[in-house]
Amino acid sequence: MHAMQYELTLPAAYDMGIVRDRVARVGGLLDDWDGLGLKAYLIRERGRHGSPVHQYAPFYLWNTVEGMNSFLWGGGFQGLSDDFGRPSARQWTGLAYEEGRGSRARYAVRRRQPVPDGGLLADVAADAVGEVRRLAAEDGALLAAAAVDTGRWELVHFSLWEHDAPRADGEVFEVLHLSAPGRDRLPRGRQW
């Protein structure tokens, strides 16, 4: 499993209806993308759920590197780049994934944190796996995942929720659409 996200931070006066309309128009284009586990079309709006910014920030869980590369290099990413400019696409290697019992993704929580210096990396990874299990077991959780960027030594925790009071720390996003053609093929549990 591979995680990927890019963020488009928009001006404070930007009409977020433009992003909502765009997602309504193109959101279904990845509903059958080969190699994609899921894509959550996420937004934050300034002043809502503690957000200081307007932001469009889709989050992906990929089943295959080929699917991710096909999206980045084969045209899927080009439309966004043409409309907004080409953003930096962050990537993380999967550590853990679990399904919850929620039924519809309405909100997402993302928390990035540095991997602490010192101590055993195996302990850090085990803690991340435990947090994924805890989040997925919470009421209203649809799923939870953790991944690591070893270039920056940064962990990312990502979870989807059916209600607006998620039991997770981090930045809260609204989910405008969820494309999940390969969600059932995302490997469960620890990724090593």
Q: What is the sign of the dihedral through the CA atoms of 190, 124, 106 and 6? A: negative
Whole-number percent of the chain with pLDDT over 90:
95
pLDDT band at 147 (very low <50, low <70, confident <90, very high): very high
Residue 25: is it exposed, middle or buried by C-beta count within 10 angstroms (0-12/13-18/19+)? Answer: exposed
CB 15 within 8 A of CB 52: no
Q: Residue 61 pLDDT > 90, yes or no? A: yes
What is the mean pLDDT of the segment spanning 9-34? 96
CB-facing half-sphere around the CA of 64: CA atoms within 13 A: 11
How does residue 113 score in pLDDT terms, banded at 50, 70 and 90? very high
**Under 8 Å between Cβ of 7 and 87:** yes
Residue 37 has a pLDDT of 98
Give the DSSP letter of residue 109: E
pLDDT (tens digit, 9 = 90+) per residue, 62-110?
999 999 999 999 888 999 999 999 999 999 999 999 999 999 999 999 9
Provide the whole-model pTM.
0.96
Query: And the tokens for 136?
Result: 């997925």
Q: Is the pLDDT of residue 34 over 90?
A: yes
pLDDT (mean) for 125-143:
98
Distance CA(77)–CA(160), nearest Å, equals: 23
The residues with which 67 forms a beta bridge, in sequence order, are: none
